[in-house]
Chain A
Amino acid sequence: MTADSHIDSHGAAHTSTGLSNNKLGMWLFLGSECLLFGGLISTYMLYRGRVGEGPRPSQVFDIPFTSVSSFVLLMSSLTMVLAVSAAHKGDDRNTHLWISVTALLGATFVGGQVYEFTAFYNEGMGFTTSLFSSSFYVLTGFHGVHVTVGIIMLMSTVGILKRSKVPGSKAETIELIGLYWHFVDIVWIIIFTLIYLIPA
């Protein structure tokens, strides 16, 4: 039995819950990710004042730059939801377009993060400089890896969709990637406020 046969023309899944198992699995995964990022954020909160001989957060953070990066990631959530909307309407052209724009915005954010890390390193904040720097790089690095994985998923989806080899409902596949992408965005909403805007 293929994945196609599990979802009828109205989007209802023929499962014991009446819901898509893939979607339920994605929500379970995202719920568990809350625990991962919760641990990383809590560790940073504990260690943010432990700067040792290294620079303090207020000495290295560039709020205008990070604000623009945050805005870029926030807008990528808009383009992602527009891609999902287009996919549900069967509009392949706009689906490809919005997914590509989302990946581009995500890549811009990751590029900004690489620039930021380089600038911090040049200002004397290495990975092992202090507990603050270690916890900061681990937290924001993990988030950056999540964004990068999202970009790879988006670009792979565009490539696979062009060959029409996506198993199951195209719209649901894009919706699942969209859920992951929005989750990465809400994690950044928290990081931006707690790590950058609230001084240690």
Chain B
Amino acid sequence: MTTETHSSTEHGMSNAGYVRIAVILAAITGLEVATYYVDFGALFLPSLLLMMAVKFVIVVSFFMHLKFDNKLFSWVFYAGLILALTVYGIFLATFHFFS
């Protein structure tokens, strides 16, 4: 087993893999910016939110290594995130933000 493979197994991906992930993130950012200039119609909001979520998950999973790390770290982080989404979702609904 090479040093690279050993490192990739324990700590995520190879450097080339990280560069590929960054290229994907840059491409999604380009698409996001395009929605500001091109009329996506009814797909505007869903597509923007979907791209934001995809970028979020990619960074957390690959750059922050949650995909490769112990599941307890994922539970701890996503518990905070889900709690925040729930609390502030209710908060915004209370002020009729969604209506």
Contacts and interface: CB of A to CB of B under 8 A. Distances in A.
Interface of A: 10-11, 17, 19, 23-24, 27-28, 30-35, 37-39, 41-42, 45-46, 63, 67, 70-71, 74-75, 77-78, 80-82, 84-85, 88-89, 175, 178-179, 182-183, 185-186, 189-190, 192-194, 197-198
B18 A85 contact: yes
Contacts of A28: 76, 80
Nearest to A36: B84
Contacts of A70: 29
SS of A interface (majority): helix
Contacts of B60: 182, 186
A32 B12 CA distance: 25
A39 B83 CA distance: 12
Interface in B1-43: 3, 7, 10-12, 15, 18-19, 21-22, 25-26, 29, 32-33, 35-36
Contacts of B32: 192-193, 197
A23 B55 contact: no
Contact of A19 (B7, B10, B72): B72
Contacts of A11: 10
SS of B interface (majority): helix
Contacts of B59: 77, 182, 185-186, 189
B11 A190 contact: no
A182 B83 contact: no
B81 A46 contact: no
B77 A189 contact: no
